[in-house]
Chain A
Amino acid sequence: MAVAEQVKNVLEARGLVKKFGKKTALAGIALNIREGDFTGLLGPNGAGKTTTIKMLTGLIKPTAGEIYYYGRDFFTHPRDAKRCIGVVPQQSNVDRDLTAYENLYLHSILYGIPKKQRRGKIEEALEFAGLREYGHRQVKTFSGGMKRRLVLVRALLHGPKILFLDEPTVGLDPQIRKNIWDLILKINQRKGMAILLTTHYIEEAEKLCRSTYIIDKGRIIAEGSPDDLKKDMGRYVLELFLEDRIEEEFFSSKDDALTRLKECGHACKIRQVTLEDVFIKLTGKRINV
């Protein structure tokens, strides 16, 4: 397909290693993200997701490995690369003492947005975040969800080509989480921006990402689209409620699962396979413990 060939690599990382003293946080990670991709980095807490993001965005230096943005070395051309990166860190690191407008204005100076364009872009961003009426209020007074939305549009202000989201909905209540999801999807679809999102919520990865890297103990243990990863397991799970434990059996079709259900003498339930099952199969443990 000619169209597929034209899609450029935004980010390519090879052999990323990070050691903190004797402890190895990342043991060699390779990632590839193309324009318009929506990629998830799924794994339990402490797997190395945040370390990966910090390295890819220049917050910490890798012990070894290479990072390229549009084929150019990140470490020899950090400025060019940083201009095409937008980052939403795990903590909403907006300035509490500034207003929403001032926070965005600071960002516009740091990223060299021409003075004439600043006002328009900031107003557009506030509108997009649903914060138009709150532009001149101090961020101190904002709720968690409002801060999150502000950080999100701040990361977009300079028109990056790739957006990093580190656990974007952690600590938010379900309704606000959905609201953030909608916003992220809109960004990916409308602006065609590549997104790399880390999460330890299975649902988040399944709902948003078109491709996923599953990460555990500093290594990528599986990669592919959520559907493909699940297909390898079989589509349906039969959960058998035994006396002391729950046993799971995997089937490629619902009919097979139903046949088994009828013949087994236990209480049981059929459900669809999730990425959690994939993770359990690969590591023998759950993602959220």
Chain B
Amino acid sequence: MFNGFRGILYRELNVFRKRAKKQILASSLSPLLFLIAFGWGFGDRVAVNGLPYITFLIPGLITMSSLNQSYGIAQELNITRFYFHVFDEYLIAPISHVEIVLGEAAYGMFKGLLSTVLIFVYSVIFSVKLIVGPMFFIAILTHTFLFTTLGITIAMLVKDHGDQATVNTFVITPMIFLSGTFFPVDKLPAVFKWLVYALPLTYSTKVIRATLTGGDVNMSYFLLMLGFAAAFFVTALRAVGRVEG
């Protein structure tokens, strides 16, 4: 049992191992730049929602960075699908689509969690105190699962590499900037609020920030995260089925 799950994870982790240094370096740069620019730049002169800005920022960087990594497996899936056709090997094998999705999702979550650890290291360097409790773990697992299954869905639906880039430009990047990662969404004009509250990252960021900074976790936001996660799991499954057209 779970041959598909184990096989895919074996493949992905072996490929990752060979590129680990490069990958970790690359994923560590952008959050560091944000920290230098906004963290040190604003310093503790600015307070947001009663928190020093850098304390407000770090949970946002965690959701952003882990989203980038978890969702980012879409790019890799694209290459295995369109250029090297390795993905066909999974479709031909006696394994189910559920195993394919869960195997890839586990890898995406692994990458997301790795980048989370990295930002915790930064938080120590920048001497920002964070509270890490069980609810944080549950939230970050849901968050990475949600965005990696979204990535799988998109990677299976797009027709080529160009489409993938278009989705990233028009959906992922705006979402990262608008969902309260860098500033509280409550300050946005009403029109934008509608948009912002349709985006799953808004809820992840609110929940994860609350767990890390000792705020109250809004349980309905967390349930919404679970809802998004379930929905994207289903779309990912269907999208894999569609590849077989």
Residue ranges of A at the interface with B (Cβ–Cβ < 8 Å) = 57-61, 78-80, 82-83, 85, 87, 89, 91, 93-98, 102, 105-107, 109-112
Contacts and interface: CB of A to CB of B under 8 A. Distances in A.
Given A59-B244, A110-B7, A93 B94 contact: no
A229 B3 CA distance: 45
B4 interface: yes
Contact of B94 (A60, A79, A94, A106): A79
Which bracket fits the contact residues of B? 20 to 34
Contacts, number: 69
Nearest to B15: A97
Contact of A110 (B14, B85, B93): B93
B84 A105 contact: no
A91 B84 CA distance: 8
Nearest to B93: A110
Contacts of B80: 95
A89 B89 CA distance: 9
Nearest to B18: A97
B90 interface: yes
B157 interface: no
Contacts of A82: 92-94
A106 B88 contact: no
A95 B90 CA distance: 12
Interface string B1-40: 0011011001100110011000000000000000000000
B185 to A, nearest CB: 40
Contact of B89 (A78, A85, A105, A110): A110
B50 interface: no
Nearest to A93: B85
Contact of A111 (B10, B15, B94): B94
Contacts of B18: 97
Contacts of A83: 94
Contacts of B84: 93, 95-96
